[in-house]
Amino acid sequence: MCLLALCLPAAARADDSRTFFAMDTVMTVTVPGGSEALLSACEDEVRRLEALFSVTDESSEIARLNAEGRAVLSDETAALLGGALDAAALTDGALDVTLYPVVRAWGFTTGDYRVPDDGELAALLALVGWQQVTLEDGEASLPPGVMVDLGSVAKGFASDRLAALLRGSGVTSALIDLGGNIYCLGAKRNGSAWRIGVRDPDGSGEYIGVVAVTDKAVVTSGSYERFFVAKDGTVYGHIFDPATGRPAESGIVSATVIGPCGFQCDALTTALYVMGLERAEALLETLEGVDALLVDAEGELWATGGLRETFTPMGAYSAAAIHWIR
Ligand code: AMP
Ligand code: MG
């Protein structure tokens, strides 16, 4: 959705890739020289994880936890929920998987969009707060009315699982695109880095530039990916500020994170979008092994030093000055 593989390997045939709809988005897995069986295994793996994590599928572990307030979780669901709670602590609650009652009230789960009034939001915000989730020895529990949604991290987690599955099958080169949560396994078969385009958050479909990566995830969060326009013309995006219960307006309009763990990148992009520049910079100063590219509301670019060699701005941004964070 937000990112596109600009250059597929010249040798890639249509049957080297599989496109399918899962986790509410279009996914494409490309394995140059890969077999049908391998691509099917990837699709099956995503569907297996979706059946565990989906908030709307009543039989999923997360839906059961939400309905019953308590559930014994599989190792994978417990790992993902635990990781999301750790990320909430790291980001001072900017990532908060208990936002679900708020996100649902705005209609983002059903498409029946509406703007809740202040009273409704205040009541719903009382149900929000990641510290309310208890997870011990694989058993999770929630106070009445509190609900979790792992949608902000599930695709990144799934991309890590697919990379592990493919590596375990001896694959050394693949491109996993789970609705813009991209994982580049190895390099392209000709040995050059994968080149991943980062979308212009203005919604034009253009790119602000390209990052060259091997063996890393590239994940972007931006409200241009999913939003609705109210009758008065106000645009409401799908990433919420847990402090207000309203779509975040932090001054960051797009956050891209590049690093070895798709889950971590997915968690961080959502959080950085909410945090705004000052908090985002402070967090990025403390994180090693990941790079970030932020676009602010004025169209200025902010990036960490690892991108000096690997990011090439393009189009309207080709001459843009980049503010370096570290
Ligand atoms: P992403 O596309 O990874 O940035 O995740 C955004 C999705 O996660 C939204 O569509 C919501 O369902 C949910 N969400 C929105 N805001 C937050 C937040 N601050 N923390 C956790 N999940 C969120
Ligand atoms: Mg995310």
Return the pLDDT at 13. 53
Does the C-beta of 265 come closer than 6 Å to ligand 1? no
Does the C-beta of 16 come closer than 6 Å to ligand 1? no
Return the pLDDT at 16. 94
Nearest CA to ligand 1 atom 7: 152
Give residue 169 CA to ligand 1 midpoint distance, Å: 32
Predicted confidence (pLDDT) at residue 281 exceeds the cutoff of 50 = yes
Q: What is the pLDDT of residues 180-215, one digit of tens each?
A: 899 999 999 999 999 999 999 998 999 999 999 999
**240: amino acid identity, one letter:** F
**Domain edges within the chain:** 4-325
Confidence of residue 326 (pLDDT cuts 50, 70, 90): confident
86/132 Cα distance (integer angstroms)? 13
Does the C-beta of 239 come closer than 6 Å to ligand 1? yes
pTM over 0.85: yes
Which residues in 62-213 belong to E strands, given as ranges? Answer: 70-72, 134-136, 139-141, 174-178, 181-185, 194-199, 207-213
Q: What is the pLDDT of residues 14-70, one digit of tens each?
A: 669 999 999 999 999 999 999 999 999 999 999 999 999 999 999 999 999 999 999
Predicted confidence (pLDDT) at residue 90 exceeds the cutoff of 50 = yes
Return the pLDDT at 12. 46
Run of H or E residues at 151: none
- Which residues are registered as beta bridge partners of 185? 174
Q: Identify the CATH homologous superfamily for domain 4-325.
A: ApbE-like domains (3.10.520.10)
Return the pLDDT at 11. 44
Task: Please provide the average confidence, as pLDDT, over all residues in the chain.
Answer: 95
Run of H or E residues at 296: strand 291-296
Ligand 1 atom closest to Cα of residue 269:
4
Confidence of residue 159 (pLDDT cuts 50, 70, 90): very high
Q: What is the pLDDT of residues 211-244, one digit of tens each?
A: 999 999 999 999 889 999 999 999 999 999 999 9
Does the C-beta of 262 come closer than 6 Å to ligand 1? no
Does the C-beta of 270 come closer than 6 Å to ligand 1? yes
Q: What is the pLDDT of residues 126-145, one digit of tens each?
A: 999 999 999 999 999 999 99
